[in-house]
A and B are shown apart, each in its own frame.
Chain A
Amino acid sequence: EAQVTQNPRYLITVTGKKLTVTCSQNMNHEYMSWYRQDPGLGLRQIYYSMNVEVTDKGDVPEGYKVSRKEKRNFPLILESPSPNQTSLYFCASRTMGGQETQYFGPGTRLLVL
């Protein structure tokens, strides 16, 4: 089954404690991205990657890091989380050609205290 998986699904942490949210896709997609979704602000892109070792900033990259060492994985790293990073996070993937839709993971709900 084609899918994007994220872990963990729910996370409560404290300010400053480094965390990683994993993302994996099984569709051999070149393009992967991370979004955050906040009430009233909609979906905002954090980072994206168009291939292995190729990453770029989205609209709200501050406070986040990503890496793309393998095609299937695209982890999101919060080196020093702050309360304003409390949000619902989605990983997504798709092909580069624009012929197919974008697939989303189930989301990770993060609370930073």
Chain B
Amino acid sequence: KQEVTQIPAALSVPEGENLVLNCSFTDSAIYNLQWFRQDPGKGLTSLLLIQSSQREQTSGRLNASLDKSSGRSTLYIAASQPGDSATYLCAVLADSNYQLIWGAGTKLIIKP
């Protein structure tokens, strides 16, 4: 059964730093991996989607990588800003049943 793990559960860094969030999954048979952002009490917003055949995707200051063979993805945030403070979730679209399997998220706090 596919399991998705995100480490760390929480992270606090000073403004301006570059940072990496981690996501690991147990079964490499995936269609894609997605990163989402959630602000407190709000809905989820898609950040990046990496297809299983891709190695990385970039959007502005965000870069997500995918290594299927090792079951890992990273979300790199450059030059962090207080507005980046949120919970970041990764999810994999499982190959067998079209379900999104979710990690528990990393709560990120960027200190001004």
Contact = CB atoms under 8 A, between A and B. Distances in A.
Contact of A100 (B49, B91, B99): B49
Nearest to B105: A42
Query: How extensive is the interface on chain B, given as a class?
Result: 20 to 34
A84 interface: no
Nearest to B89: A43
B80 interface: no
Given A42-B89, A90-B44, 20 more contacts: A42-B102, A42-B104, A43-B89, A43-B102, A58-B99, A88-B41, A90-B43, A92-B44, A98-B31, A98-B32, A99-B51, A101-B49, A102-B34, A102-B46, A103-B46, A104-B43, A104-B44, A106-B42, A106-B43, A107-B41
A55 interface: no
Interface of B: 31-32, 34, 41-46, 49, 51, 89, 91, 93, 98-100, 102-105
B contacts with A: majority SS:
strand
Given A98-B31, A98-B98, A102-B100, A107 B42 contact: yes
